Amino acid sequence: MTQSAKRRYLARPTRSVQGALSVPGDKSISHRALMLGGLADGDTEISGFLASEDCLATLTALRALGVGIERPAETRVQVHGAGRRGLRAAAGALDMGNAGTAMRLFMGLLAGQQFDSTLIGDASLMRRPMERVAQPLRTMGASIHTQQGRPPVQIQAVTELAGIDYRMPVASAQVKSALLLAALSARGRSSISEPAPTRDHTERMLRGFGVEVEREGARIGIDGGQRLHGCAVEVPGDFSSAAFFLVAGCLGAAAGLTLRGIGINPTRTGLLQMLQLMGADIEVEPRGGASAEPIADIHVRARALKGIRVPEELVPLAIDEFPVFFIAAAAAEGETLVTGAGELRVKESDRLAVMASGLRALGVECELLADGLRLQGAGPGGALRGGRIDSHGDHRIAMAFAVASLIAREPIEIDDVANVATSFPGFSDLARRAGLALSEEG
């Protein structure tokens, strides 16, 4: 067992959370700000940057590719853009750690370069599917090798890519973003269609860097050869991190809980709609401002929830929130059914199987489906038992079961939690400030 696998949480039962909190910056937006800043002409100033392991992997990789980056403060980054043709070969393999977003977006960014690159990652990332990006990139002329579809990903120098006309078979913002990055250095126009709306941070941010991106229904059009101009990027609080406190608030904020400065891009907030369908008491107070991404304060108050059938069109809009959504469902009255969520099986862990076994360990009746989960909630007055959960090194599983301590009658031990630092540094401190009885050991 590695040192990090020994880190664990002990979450003792608590009944209440409260207060006003901010969460660290958005992970998706922080990755993109670094990458677009690196490709731009001129400087990019990032504020609210998420200094998590995943985003620092992107930062380190860009430096290895010759981009000058300074970090005058923990959450402030200055990127001295190398220009679209200014990157140079790294001295060795680029290590993406646990970060699927970094690996897939770098595949697009590096596919059209005139030097070779190799991308590797940790044990979880080395198991994840990469052909969904490699295949369309090859049709653009890229030379990419995977190991039976998985990393290491080897990218060979090419002289030029050609634009692509592509209908994505899976709803994936990572695939879409990788293709948009490759399209920037391709000859001619690219057209990419998505089967369902996914997070659109790349499109929004490209426009902020002065790139013309056209959107017509499900289709995105972009001309190759456009230059990016460095700019200021203000990163909002990560909705996916706020989600743990949003659900905690639904379960235990009798006096209310406020989350400040959270990104509420509608392609990210499916969880809000799902909780509202369950009867949650949530109020979104938009903040003004000229940022490319909408920001709000979110107020939540505890209220009894009812089980729901989750509309499948909400799944891609809440794709990272299912671990903690299942905890809300475990507290609700009656059955909750999620289908159309097969993508959860190829995240940092198989989130359907890992959540089902964790929930069962706490006494929740649940049925694992090929593309979802059916579970029976405890309902008002009901409670989960305590138990021991293996997070399988998945940050969002670890944090979700910490929230479950609001509806448990005995302690929950959660193993293998070091990877919480990939997305949410400071989670356990913030959780304690909100009222959870969470301690970290190992």
* Residue 419 lies near ligand S3P (rule: CB under 6 A): no
Instruction: Find where tokens 């090798």 sit.
Output: 145
**Is the peptide bond between 152 and the residue preceding it cis, with omega within 30 degrees of 0?**
yes
- Which tokens hold the place of 207? 């426009």
Query: In angstroms, what is the minimal distance from the CB of 98 to ligand S3P?
Result: 11
User: Which residue from 18, 44, 58, 101 is in contact with ligand S3P, where contact means CB under 6 A?
Assistant: 101
Please tell me whether residue 416 binds ligand S3P under the rule CB under 6 A: no
Cα distances from 243 to residues 34, 421, 437, in angstroms, run 24, 16, 18
Residue 436 is classified by DSSP as -
Residue 98 — φ and ψ, nearest 5°?
A: -95, 0
Site string for ligand S3P, 126-165 (x = CB under 6 A): ----------------------------------------
**Positions 341 through 360 that interact with ligand S3P (CB under 6 A):** 343
Out of 53, 194, 320, 415, the only residue in the binding site for ligand S3P (CB under 6 A) is 320
Of residues 272 and 408, the one with the C-beta less far from ligand S3P: 272
Contact 228, 39 (CB under 8 A): yes
CA distances from 422 to 30, 129, 166, 291, 311 (A): 13, 19, 32, 25, 30
319 counts as binding ligand S3P under rule CB under 6 A: yes
Of the candidate residues 174, 336, 391, 428, the single one contacting ligand S3P (CB under 6 A): 174
The answer to whether residue 28 forms part of the interface with ligand S3P (CB under 6 A) is yes
d(CA 442, CA 416): 10
Minimum gap (Å) between residue 179 Cβ and ligand S3P? 11
Alpha-carbon span 23 to 245, nearest angstrom: 9
**Bridging pattern class, strands 366-369 and 372-378:** antiparallel
What's the min distance (Å) between Cβ of 268 and ligand S3P? 10
199 binds ligand S3P (CB under 6 A): yes
CB of 174 to ligand S3P, least distance (A): 3
- Please report whether residue 265 would count as binding ligand S3P according to CB under 6 A: no
Beta-strand pair 372-378/213-216: unpaired
Site membership for ligand S3P, residue 30 (CB under 6 A): no
Give me the catalytic one of 54, 200, 320, 394.
320
In whole angstroms, how close is the CB of 419 to ligand S3P at the nearest point?
13
CB of 338 to ligand S3P, least distance (A): 15
Q: Which C-beta is closer to ligand S3P: that of 84 or that of 199? A: 199
3-state secondary structure 285-322: EEECCCCCCCEEEEEEECCCCECCECCHHHHHHHCCCH
**Does 320 participate in catalysis according to the annotation?**
yes
In order of 29, 189, 239, 307, the CA distances from 293 in angstroms are 9, 26, 12, 31
By CB under 6 A, name the one of 30, 98, 172, 422 that touches ligand S3P. Answer: 172
Nearest distance from C-beta of residue 173 to ligand S3P, angstroms: 4
Indicate the residue type of 334.
G
Minimum CB distance to ligand S3P smaller for 275 or for 319: 319
Interacting residues toward ligand S3P by CB under 6 A: 28, 101, 172-174, 177, 199, 319-320, 343
Residues forming the active site:
320
